[in-house]
Structure 1
């Protein structure tokens, strides 16, 4: 099993919708996040006047499955956030509803460090594809001493660890973990299959560390059923746009890569081209038990 970690969360005003800070043991980073409606309180905090990076996050009206994200840096984050809060015709940004900023507790994060982190995280978010970046192309700020580059790689990894805990998933990897032979640190399920004989369609999936992946080479319907209205239709279209799904014969698509889904039902819907119950549609390859039955067995075996 992988080693556990401690993250210290603090509700600044004692309410769940107020400002929140987060720290990881033995990490010099300090995280502060809050709603835009709390910006007047946030910019009064001392850490906001330091050098750091920040994330502006809001809904994408064209895609409910991915947020809009702007990644920035400043040697005075509070001042920059005030600028972003202005109306768009005055140079501000309207889309964001939440802000998250990362500074350093020992104040050793320099402007060069922040620019490098901004560049790395913009590139990473673009590669992962969990959000639509409001930024343009990331600039390359790699002209740091070798020791600083190593420090910033570690700093960025800690950021990627803490953000999902706070509800920001756009830096969390979507690729299926590769488990070396004999390594038991990753928890893998058996392979599940979903078949639609009428369309000569078969998909394979696996649950790894709690994430549900449809495996590369699996097939899916190319069109969405006109009789089935589901929010997963937008996800189906998004995967086509990203080329995770590519044309394969008449009326079919093929998964070009292992693709992560939020749930078995989301995966089953995209494969079937209609709303579907993944707990009953996915079946253990070889024995016919449904995903739901298999999951129940895992709990029942615990004494």
Structure 2
């Protein structure tokens, strides 16, 4: 069973769009984030005088589906951020709109630790593939004792846990899907049922699964070769996936997913498969039973409420005392 975590968030100036600090219970790390417009206030914070790693994040003009990210390390974060705030022509970086820096509350994070973390984070961001990296080639910095490498592996996992909570998804790995045996579809939180979507007229068959709040269309699923819907909705998503090579043209006149790909909703996934807007709650159906995604989800909610009611009734039936 996965255990819960306690996070402590603090709005420095009392507004949701200002500076924010974040900590995890029993972790020595400390996170500070804010918009570039608050940089003058951010660099005055004591955290900015420490050794740490930082992320510069902004939109990618060539890809609306993912951000641009620069990952760096320094023993004086404030000084480095001032350099990055300069115009591009003066050695700065123009693309970023938000900054996130990670330091240590006990100040035991050394320059060597930071360089090691930076190399791990750059490698991890490339593997996950949720952002465009502005960094050049990452140096494979491994000049740390074995015990320190173990400490930094733990430090890295806390960073990967914390950042998605703060709105930075570029380090969040895609969940591994579990194909459920047909007789167990929909049973238990650990089993992800397989959904299918068919468009017989065009010979299209696609498979998908819901994992950790995202809907995955699985590798080798088919999709329409071109967008035929109106010029809105998920058209840009469809075109971007073709541009990125996630779906490629096949010999049968349709496209094929060359890898598993996550979508924000079943409807987004259905639209890309169909090449037009589609209601994913009705189009995706359980592979064995034929129940729609919406019916399957409603069944889970109703079952949970029934279990809760039964448990509550059982508690009320227990005597308060015994003679």
Q: TM-score, normalised by structure 1?
A: 0.93
SS at 1:37 equivalent: helix
Aligned partner (choices 162, 182, 197) of residue 200 of structure 2: 197
Structure 1: give runs of 5+ residues left out of the alignment.
none
Cα deviation for residue 278 of structure 1 reads: 1.1
Cα deviation for residue 144 of structure 1 reads: 1.2
Q: Is the 8 A contact 1:186 1:209 kept in 2?
A: no
**Cα deviation 1:116-174 (Å, max 9, x = unaligned):** 11111111111211111111121110121111111111111110000000000000012
Pick closer, same or farther for the CA change 1:180–1:249 going to 2, 3 Å: closer
Matching of residue 146 in structure 1 with residue 146 in structure 2: yes
SS at 1:174 equivalent: coil
Residue 280 of structure 1 corresponds to which residue in structure 2? Answer: 282
Matching of residue 238 in structure 1 with residue 254 in structure 2: no
SS at 1:96 equivalent: coil
SS at 1:289 equivalent: coil
Residue 73 of structure 1 corresponds to which residue in structure 2? Answer: 73
CA distance in 1, matches of 2:54, 2:198: 45
Residue 252 of structure 1 corresponds to which residue in structure 2? Answer: 254
Residue 217 of structure 2 corresponds to which residue in structure 1? Answer: 214
Cα deviation for residue 261 of structure 1 reads: 1.1
Q: Is the 8 A contact 2:70 2:135 kept in 1?
A: yes
**Cα deviation 1:199-219 (Å, max 9, x = unaligned):** 111111111232211122211
SS at 2:69 equivalent: strand
Pick closer, same or farther for the CA change 1:208–1:188 going to 2, 3 Å: farther
Residue 89 of structure 1 corresponds to which residue in structure 2? Answer: 89
Cα deviation for residue 178 of structure 1 reads: 5.3
Q: Which moved more, 1:99-108 or 1:234-243?
A: 234-243
Q: Is the 8 A contact 1:11 1:21 kept in 2?
A: yes
Q: Which moved more, 1:30-39 or 1:277-286?
A: 277-286
Q: Which moved more, 1:39-48 or 1:241-250?
A: 241-250
CA distance in 2, matches of 1:96, 1:13: 22
CA distance in 2, matches of 1:178, 1:298: 18
Matching of residue 131 in structure 1 with residue 145 in structure 2: no
Q: Which moved more, 1:123-132 or 1:253-262?
A: 253-262
- Find the structure with the greater CA-based Rg: 2
Identify the structure with bigger relative contact order (alpha carbons < 8 Å, sequence gap 6+): 1
CA distance in 1, matches of 2:177, 2:24: 24
Structure 2: give runs of 5+ residues left out of the alignment.
307-323
CA distance in 2, matches of 1:111, 1:180: 46
Cα deviation for residue 231 of structure 1 reads: 4.8
**Cα deviation 1:251-284 (Å, max 9, x = unaligned):** 2222222221111111111111222221121112
Q: Which moved more, 1:138-147 or 1:170-179?
A: 170-179
Residue 62 of structure 2 corresponds to which residue in structure 1? Answer: 62
Q: Is the 8 A contact 2:179 2:193 kept in 1?
A: no
Name the count of aligned residue pairs.
Answer: 301
Q: Which moved more, 1:51-60 or 1:279-288?
A: 279-288
Residue 15 of structure 1 corresponds to which residue in structure 2? Answer: 15
CA distance in 2, matches of 1:179, 1:120: 31
CA distance in 2, matches of 1:267, 1:42: 39
CA distance in 2, matches of 1:194, 1:57: 36
Pick closer, same or farther for the CA change 1:185–1:86 going to 2, 3 Å: farther
CA distance in 1, matches of 2:179, 2:30: 32
CA distance in 2, matches of 1:287, 1:178: 18
Pick closer, same or farther for the CA change 1:83–1:211 going to 2, 3 Å: same
